[in-house]
Chains A and B, each alone.
Chain A
Amino acid sequence: MLSAAAHAALGENTQAVANDAKTIRAVSLVSRSAPYTSSSSTYTKHEMSLAGGGSVVEYTNANDIVFALSWQSPLGAPNLSLLLGNYIDAFGRAQAQSRTGKWRSLHHLNATEGDWSVVSEIRNHAFNGFSYLRSQLPAGFNLQLLSQ
């Protein structure tokens, strides 16, 4: 059984999308099938509006796997640990590097670890970013769609 306690989204299935919508207290969840672009890429886009303004968008592929998500919020972080799921530890390692390395930033973080990539920004209390799994991207998916 796919656990209802699956609180994570990235890399998980559509059930996790619904869980995320509940847990982040989205005020709406709209799922639509693609194509959204001129390409023949096939995916479904799940748009969640956040109560404080802002939104989270999760993308599932033909196998029902969340292969990417993006977020933007003018007031505080969406629960990234929830959305990034199993990749939160990799995110923590990227944060540590951004905090202690020679190439620091208070406002911009990007990291790639194996199959997983993330860009996270916090400026003036506004949050935006995205994360995806390269091996799960549908053929022809335009990564530029992830920047909200």
Chain B
Amino acid sequence: MNLLKRIYLLGLFCLALILCACGGGGSSSSESTSSTSNVPVTVSLTSSPTGATIGNSNVVALYMDSGPGGNGSTNIIYADVQVCLPSTSNCTVVNHVLVDTGSTGLRLLASALPSSFLTGSSSLPQVLSGTSPVGECTTFVSGFTWGGIRRVDLHLGGSNYSGEIAANIPAQIIADPASQLATIPLSCIQAAGYTGSSTNQSAISTFETTHEMQTAAQLGANGIIGIGLFKYDCGTNCASTASYVYQQCASTSNCNSISLPVTSQPSNPIRSFTSDTNGSTIILPTLPSGYADKVSGLLVMGIGTQSNNALASGSSVIGALPYNFSRAGSFTATFNGSSNLRGSYFDSGTTWNYFPATGTINYPYCSGNTSYPLCPTSPTTQLATLSGTGGTAGTINVFTSNVTSILALDSSANAMQGLSGGDSTSATFNLVLGGSSFFGRSIATLIENQTATGMGTGPAFGYTP
């Protein structure tokens, strides 16, 4: 068994070397491991393509591990953030905040904040509609978050969070203890899929507990920092039309849908810094063994705004569809024999890759599964061709590992390079390059209407091969 494991590791290592050799990007990694089982495998980024390093004012440490209280999952990219009462030095650090390039805005669990930030005369100021606090209902495919919008100073990067300040930005406080927000509005849970009676408290309660992401256990994180392609959370649609997203809550169980000006909506924190505001880059090391229990990487704020954040050498740039388009933030891909995969994107808020599983290569599901993950007999790399707005084009190697084999080596692996799922029907319309595609790469996110040297105008992604 041990011999088999070593052979397998050697195979993955060779493959990783091949990927590194053709990948470029200029980053390198180190792995501390052991041939003894049950010893944690830690992979650290030891250098970055542009020399960005921890301590630089625009650099934030990223990590993967078992999550808050062990409630995480595979391939979730976390950062620690410092939030302060606006214009004060009364601050707290929230760990395990999920770094999401597929959404916009800062969302923090109330349970991760000191009670003095939430109640009392010097708590985080609420965004108000009239005299009533504003609540937000955010729907994700897997569930929803509900809570008030309050203003915070967000400190990121540098030494001891002194690098950049996004001052007085609106953030969603999930499970906000404010009494007016105590009851999740019916329109919120209906948007999340509740069909039952409006008066059946038992059914409502059951639905909430199976769909809400109001705790670290439910969210797998203590918050979400959305640093995606767009500037605002919901944007001008929600500023002109009242919907379930924003609600004015006069008292418990008395919330009404409202429109909300974009300046009161949670927004992309990168845009609120005083410098390095056009976008950001996530840099993760390649995983020599294909998996790890701990991974460290970097989030570099700004693209081409400092000596340490130029677009990584060898990057391709793909323009994405703008706000308000169907499939906003997407480009078109050709992969595994399917052309016109027109809803394709990079997304750190998805832990795995997703693509048509049948075609040039038929990727089988792992034993006993019907949707994901995939388990090719041996790790498989296939080239995807990407094309975006403005005539942008590029290629990327999509690596798919055998998850069952990795779990046999490390059943608690918190990081898996090549973790993939797919659709075996011919209906798939996208190639999703999730967290498992971020290893060994620099992936840049240029925000809408912003420019960066070598990238043109956002929304656009840049990536090393």
What does the 1/0 interface line of B402-444 toward A look like (CB < 8 Å)? 0000000000000000010101111111101010000000000
Residues of chain A within 8 A of B141, CB atoms compared? 95, 98, 105-109, 120-122
B220 interface residue (CB < 8 Å to A):
yes
Query: Once the chains bind, are A108 and B347 in contact (CB under 8 Å)?
Result: yes
Residues of chain B within 8 A of A109, CB atoms compared? 141-142
- Contact for B349 among A54, A76, A100, A107, CB less than 8 A: A107
B328 interface residue (CB < 8 Å to A):
yes
- Contact for B139 among A77, A100, A108, A134, CB less than 8 A: A77
A13 interface residue (CB < 8 Å to B):
no
B128 interface residue (CB < 8 Å to A):
no
- Given A104-B220, A128-B326, the answer on whether A95 and B139 have CB atoms closer than 8 Å is no
Residues of chain A within 8 A of B323, CB atoms compared? 124
Query: Total A-B pairs in contact (CB under 8 Å)?
Result: 186
Q: Nearest B residue to A145 by beta-carbon distance?
A: B427
Residues of chain B within 8 A of A53, CB atoms compared? 237
B2 interface residue (CB < 8 Å to A):
no
Bound Cα distance A142, B432 (Å):
22
CB of B170, distance to nearest CB on chain A (Å): 15
Question: 8 Å CB contacts to A: which residues of B226-264?
Answer: 228-230, 233-235, 237-238, 241, 243-245
Query: Once the chains bind, are B195 and A125 in contact (CB under 8 Å)?
Result: no
B32 interface residue (CB < 8 Å to A):
no
Bound Cα distance A36, B235 (Å):
35
Bound Cα distance A60, B220 (Å):
40
Residues of chain B within 8 A of A100, CB atoms compared? 73
Query: Once the chains bind, are B140 and A117 in contact (CB under 8 Å)?
Result: no
Which of B98-106, B272-280, B450-458 faces chain A? B98-106
Query: Once the chains bind, are B76 and A125 in contact (CB under 8 Å)?
Result: no
Q: Is the interface of A mostly helix, strand, loop or mixed?
A: mixed
A147 interface residue (CB < 8 Å to B):
yes
Query: Once the chains bind, are A119 and B423 in contact (CB under 8 Å)?
Result: yes
- Contact for B102 among A75, A101, A102, A107, CB less than 8 A: A107
CB of A85, distance to nearest CB on chain B (Å): 9
B210 interface residue (CB < 8 Å to A):
yes
Bound Cα distance A82, B373 (Å):
29
Query: Once the chains bind, are B427 and A143 in contact (CB under 8 Å)?
Result: yes
- Given A103-B372, A104-B351, the answer on whether A110 and B423 have CB atoms closer than 8 Å is yes
Query: Once the chains bind, are A106 and B370 in contact (CB under 8 Å)?
Result: no
Q: Nearest A residue to B218 by beta-carbon distance?
A: A99
Q: Nearest A residue to B323 by beta-carbon distance?
A: A124
Query: Once the chains bind, are B195 and A76 in contact (CB under 8 Å)?
Result: no
Query: Once the chains bind, are A75 and B241 in contact (CB under 8 Å)?
Result: yes
- Contact for A143 among B193, B347, B425, B430, CB less than 8 A: B425
Query: Once the chains bind, are B74 and A112 in contact (CB under 8 Å)?
Result: no
Question: 8 Å CB contacts to B: which residues of A83-105?
Answer: 88, 91-92, 94-96, 98-105
Question: 8 Å CB contacts to A: which residues of B258-306?
Answer: none
- Given A76-B191, A77-B191, A124-B228, the answer on whether A103 and B241 have CB atoms closer than 8 Å is no
Residues of chain A within 8 A of B191, CB atoms compared? 76-77
CB of A29, distance to nearest CB on chain B (Å): 20
A148 interface residue (CB < 8 Å to B):
yes
- Contact for A105 among B104, B228, B326, B350, CB less than 8 A: B350
- Contact for B190 among A54, A79, A95, A125, CB less than 8 A: A79
CB of B108, distance to nearest CB on chain A (Å): 15
Residues of chain B within 8 A of A77, CB atoms compared? 139, 191-193
Q: Nearest B residue to A147 by beta-carbon distance?
A: B429
CB of B220, distance to nearest CB on chain A (Å): 7
Q: Which residues of A contact B (CB under 8 A)?
A: 7, 52-54, 72, 74-77, 79-82, 88, 91-92, 94-96, 98-113, 117, 119-126, 128, 130, 132, 134, 142-144, 146-148
Q: Which residues of B contact A (CB under 8 A)?
A: 73-74, 76, 98, 100, 102-104, 139-143, 190-195, 210-211, 213, 218, 220, 224, 228-230, 233-235, 237-238, 241, 243-245, 323-324, 326-329, 340, 342-343, 345, 347, 349-352, 354, 370-373, 419, 421, 423-430, 432, 434
Chain A to chain B contacts (Cβ below 8 Å), 18 pairs:
A7-B195, A52-B243, A77-B193, A81-B195, A103-B73, A104-B74, A105-B347, A106-B224, A107-B140, A108-B141, A112-B425, A113-B370, A123-B228, A123-B345, A125-B245, A134-B425, A146-B429, A148-B326
